[in-house]
Structure 1
């Protein structure tokens, strides 16, 4: 199974702004929708979301996006490709590519992004360690580094 998961994305006419392309702030919603969809999918009889007990949830710790080409409204679904780029003690990073169509051949990448998620305790508000089961699910999605044009600084 490929570590890159493609989530179809239905664009809405209202996603476009006065410049005639999908507004930049909508991309973060696209990333969230794809993330929730993937994390809710079964992986080895368990989804990542099902691995969370009521005291734990994930928060966005960091987001970085690079826009590459305008994305325009179409009735044909666009796509968000999604994979894991790193797994830490209490956090993990997801890589994304937003494309203008589901089919890879002939598609244009409109944006690439990286999002760091942190597992947090509701009762303490503090980060908590990922379990081995959660780490296994995340590692099953391992893929390449996000191909940003400008090198990332750490």
Structure 2
């Protein structure tokens, strides 16, 4: 089992427009909740432009296990966990809960890229150090 550490918690209100014809939050929105949490965490780690330089991030894979429908109105609490950083990648894990009940969990592999070369790159040491410390 991958060891993981809680690094960030984001509370996101469900919008009326997040629902689909079935009357619950559309499955694509769950990925948006995970994305928003991930971007908030990276923004807290290192504010945009501070030292990112030409370093960027892309998602190599993403998954979501839907356990229970989320309905409007609600506030989703997304807990983000980080696993051990690899050479150029970072495994991330998520729990999406409403009022303490987990409605979904998921994961995404973040890959660091050189935006000029459009190729994977080793995670810069300054970011690697910040990631290992984590932030909540």
With normalisation by structure 2, the TM-score equals 0.86
More strand by share: 2
Give the paired residue count.
130
Candidates 112, 119, 123, aligned match of 1:119: 112
Q: What do residues 30-80 of structure 1 show as CA deviations (whole Å, max 9, x unaligned)? A: 1111111111114xxxx2753311x22100111011111111111x42211
The answer (yes or no) to whether the contact 2:6–2:79 under 8 Å persists in 1 is no
The answer (yes or no) to whether the contact 1:48–1:134 under 8 Å persists in 2 is no
The answer (yes or no) to whether the contact 2:8–2:37 under 8 Å persists in 1 is no
Unmatched 5+ stretches in structure 2:
none
Unmatched 5+ stretches in structure 1:
102-106, 143-154
Corresponding residue for residue 88 of structure 2: 90
Alpha-carbon shift at residue 8 of structure 1 (Å): 0.6
Partner Cα separation in structure 2 for residue 117 and residue 48 of structure 1:
18
RMSD over equivalenced CA pairs, Å = 1.9
Runs of 4+ aligned residues of structure 1 deviating over 3 Å after TM superposition are 48-51
Q: Secondary structure at 2:22's aligned position in 1?
A: coil
With normalisation by structure 1, the TM-score equals 0.77
